[in-house]
């Protein structure tokens, strides 16, 4: 007796269409970590910019590894961590801790990956401007999709994540 195949399962992600078609994804001229905070504050949500400090800012990752993937970035354009002063280092660390607190409060992850890739060889996608990644992790978030299907499932729209996190940041 022939067994019926399971019907195909569908992953519905309509917000990805603008990326696929290239609509609203024009390349920024120069360094995005320099251009985003220079834009008017009224564009912060569109730019996924959560917080503007004196020497650093917090930005959501446009292509996140997981829901809530944040980056803390100094305004100073440099690829060398030794080029930032003590005031910037202090604010950078404070924003890393504040970002973790916000993510704990809103998303309740089981753990975090917090770190940076310095240089293209080390895995930096944008290697000319240092930035710290804060990636919330949950038990079981690495399942068959990324391992077998080479597809990462982001289960919440970036705008919804922004709205949930923004009350925890004030600038």
Is position 129 annotated as part of the catalytic site? no
DSSP string, the chain: -PPPPPPPP----GGGHHHHH-TT-PPPSS-HHHHHHHS-GGGHHHHTEEEE-SSEEEEE-SS-SSTT-EEEEESS--S-GGGS-HHHHHHHHHHHHHHHHHHHHHH--SEEEEE---SGGGT-SS-SS--EEEEEE-TT-S-HHHHTS------S-HHHHHHHHGGG---
> From the candidates 69, 131, 133, 168, which is the catalytic residue?
131
Supply the residues annotated as catalytic: 131
């Amino acid at each position: 007796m022939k067994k019926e195949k399971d019907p195909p399962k569908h992953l519905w992600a309509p917000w990805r269409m603008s990326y696929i078609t290239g609509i609203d994804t024009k390349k920024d001229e120069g360094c995005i970590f320099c251009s985003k905070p220079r834009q008017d504050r009224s564009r912060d949500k569109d730019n996924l910019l959560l917080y503007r400090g004196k020497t650093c800012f917090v930005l959501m990752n446009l292509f996140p590894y997981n829901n809530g993937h944040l980056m803390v970035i100094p305004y100073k354009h440099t690829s060398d961590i030794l080029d930032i002063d003590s005031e910037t280092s202090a604010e950078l660390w404070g924003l890393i801790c504040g970002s973790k607190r916000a993510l704990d409060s809103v998303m309740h992850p089981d753990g975090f990956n917090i770190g940076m890739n310095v240089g293209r060889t080390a895995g930096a996608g944008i290697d000319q401007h240092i930035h710290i990644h804060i990636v919330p992790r949950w038990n079981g978030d690495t399942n068959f999709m990324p391992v077998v299907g080479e597809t990462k499932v982001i289960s919440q729209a970036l705008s919804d994540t922004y709205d949930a996190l923004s009350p925890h940041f004030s600038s």
